[in-house]
Amino acid sequence: MSEDILATASAWRDAGESVAIATVVETWGSSPRPAGSRFAVSSAGRMAGSVSGGCIEGAVAEAAAATMANGTPQLLDFGISDESAWEVGLACGGKLKVFVEKLG
């Protein structure tokens, strides 16, 4: 496979980094990436894959730092109508949920 995010994440972990994996679990409207899309981020700031067209990866990476530190998974909500903790809108007007978990 050309886009094996799990293999990439696994290699980072083997190299001694903390790694979190984010997965799109639900979408509404015109979200650019479908459920199942993965994005991996490491404690050194490496990133692979995507959960959007690039609009929310930064916020996901920020949230992932907490999951890497304490091991607790998170379910993040993103959407243009979402006024809560995440001040990140999707220009496309879509909404999505992203599950973030620590690898290992």
Residues that bind other proteins (CB under 8 A): 1-3, 6-7, 10, 13, 21, 23, 25-26, 34-36, 73, 75, 99, 101-104
Going by their DSSP bridges, the two strands 47-49 and 74-79 should be labelled as unpaired
In the complex, what is the shortest distance from the CB of residue 53 to other proteins, in angstroms, rounded to a whole number? 18
Q: Which two tokens stand for residue 41?
A: 């981020």
- Least distance between other proteins and beta carbon 62 (Å): 19
* Neighbouring C-beta atoms of residue 89, cutoff 10 Å: 16
**At closest approach, how far in Å is the CB of 54 from other proteins?**
19
Continuous segment of H or E residues that includes residue 24: strand 19-28
Which residue number, 36 or 45, has a Cβ lying nearer to other proteins?
A: 36
The DSSP result for 77-100, as a single string, is EEETT--SS-----TT--EEEEEE
- 23 or 31, CB closer to other proteins? 23
Q: Pick between residue 54 and residue 71 the one whose CB is nearest to other proteins.
A: 71
Q: Which residue has the tokens 């304490």?
A: 70
